[in-house]
Amino acid sequence: GESVGLHLPTLSVQEGDNSIINCAYSNSASDYFIWYKQESGKGPQFIIDIRSNMDKRQGQRVTVLLNKTVKHLSLQIAATQPGDSAVYFCAEGGGKLIFGQGTTLQVKP
């Protein structure tokens, strides 16, 4: 069945370091992938998206990489800041969004 999953439930990084959050998906027909940030008690916040016909997209301090060969998606955050601490979800877009299980990013000062 369809599933979008994450490799690690928690990632702890030092402030200023780069963070890499990974995601695996199983539906090769998905044509759109999105990363969301969710702070405690709040709704998801859009970070960046990528279409299936691309392999890389950059935003402000963030980069998403898509490897369709191994069905892998990653989110790179440069110079991680304390405000980046949150749960990060990847989601697979087709007719509807399918969310992965989430990775908690902890930024140590």
Partner 1 sequence: GAVVSQHPSRVICKSGTSVKIECRSLDFQATTMFWYRQFPKQSLMLMATSNEGSKATYEQGVEKDKFLINHASLTLSTLTVTSAHPEDSSFYICSASSGGLPYEQYFGPGTRLTVT
Q: At 82, is the secondary structure helix, strand, or coil?
A: helix
Among 41, 69, 70, 83, binds partner 1 (CB under 8 A): 41
**Taking the complex as a whole, how short is the minimal distance between the CB of residue 74 and partner 1, in angstroms?**
18
Q: Does 43 bind partner 1 (CB under 8 A)?
A: yes
Q: Does 94 bind partner 1 (CB under 8 A)?
A: yes
**CB under 8 Å to 40, separation ≥6 — which residues?**
86
**CB under 8 Å to 89, separation ≥6 — which residues?**
35, 36, 38, 44, 99, 100, 101, 102, 103
Among 29, 60, 69, 96, binds partner 1 (CB under 8 A): 96
Q: What is the DSSP letter of 84?
A: G
Q: Does 8 bind partner 1 (CB under 8 A)?
A: no
Q: Does 66 bind partner 1 (CB under 8 A)?
A: no
Sign of CA dihedral 40, 46, 48, 51: positive
Q: Does 91 bind partner 1 (CB under 8 A)?
A: yes
The binding site for partner 1 (CB under 8 A) comprises: 32, 34, 36, 41-46, 49, 89, 91, 93-102
